[in-house]
Amino acid sequence: MKKDNKYTEPKLEILNDHYKDTFSYIRDYIRIRDSLLLMILIVVTVMLSQIFSPNETKSAISEFINAKLNLTTKIEVSFIGSVIWFGLFALIMKYFQTVVYIERQYNYIHKLEDVISKEFNGEAFTREGKSHLKDYPIFSEWSQIVYRIIFPATLTLVSLIKIIGEWVGRDRVSWLLIFNSLVCGCILISIIFYLLVVHTFKKEAK
């Protein structure tokens, strides 16, 4: 190792260990993110079924719950709908928090790579930064479009169609409908804040 290196070997070793730990945390949260994404897609699929095949979906959900919980009486379908709304909101909140954490850690690990790679003439410790962006520019851009535009837009569209469908044709307003509307509003607000945050991260990464 060159004598004029900025960092001594012990310091580089500490930086390397910290880099590995940070990358390990990112991988763990990516697995959590993917699991949450799958659960959100399942809930969204159920909501789409409620939109396009309401009667069949109501019967299927009621039978499924009664069979799983061994109930002798049927649960009110409107109550199940509210549970689905709240479940979607809870999953979305956790998903957004996880994605924001991952983005923050990626920005941080890029800074670590910049610091450590200087000690190796920029030829090492560039896996998640320069090398990734250089080797997979098109795929990286496409994945960003999916996560930051297409997925939030889909959630927004499904939520709006679902809540509008619940209001249309109602001769009276129930507490559950008001609750669903509030939850839908919280989902839309969360999506807006999420887009603002990830857009900020994108600016900082440039």
Separation CA 186–CA 37 (nearest Å): 18
**Percent of the chain, pLDDT > 90?**
34
User: By the 8 A CB rule, do 155 and 187 touch?
Assistant: yes
Separation CA 204–CA 206 (nearest Å): 5
Type and span of the H or E element at 65:
helix 54-69
pLDDT at 57: 79
Separation CA 108–CA 94 (nearest Å): 21
Q: In the structure, what pLDDT confidence band is assigned to residue 185 with cuts at 50, 70 and 90?
A: very high
pLDDT at 147: 83
The neighbour count for residue 184, using CB atoms within 10 Å, is 19
Does residue 188 carry a pLDDT above 70? Answer: yes
pLDDT at 93: 96
**Percent of the chain, pLDDT > 70?**
71
pLDDT in tens, 141-179: 788 788 888 999 999 999 999 999 999 877 788 899 999
User: By the 8 A CB rule, do 44 and 154 touch?
Assistant: yes
pLDDT at 91: 97
Contacts of 150 (CB under 8 A, 6+ apart): none
Residue 165: alpha-carbon gap to chain centroid: 26
Q: What are phi and psi of 28, to 5 degrees?
A: -65, -45
Average pLDDT, the chain: 79
**Residue type (1 letter), 105:** Q
Rounded to whole angstroms, what are the CA distances from 89 to 110, 146, 169, 184, 188? 32, 20, 25, 8, 10
Separation CA 185–CA 183 (nearest Å): 5
pLDDT in tens, 37-77: 999 999 999 999 888 887 787 778 777 776 766 766 666 77
More confident residue, 28 or 7: 28
Q: In the structure, what pLDDT confidence band is assigned to residue 125 with cuts at 50, 70 and 90?
A: low
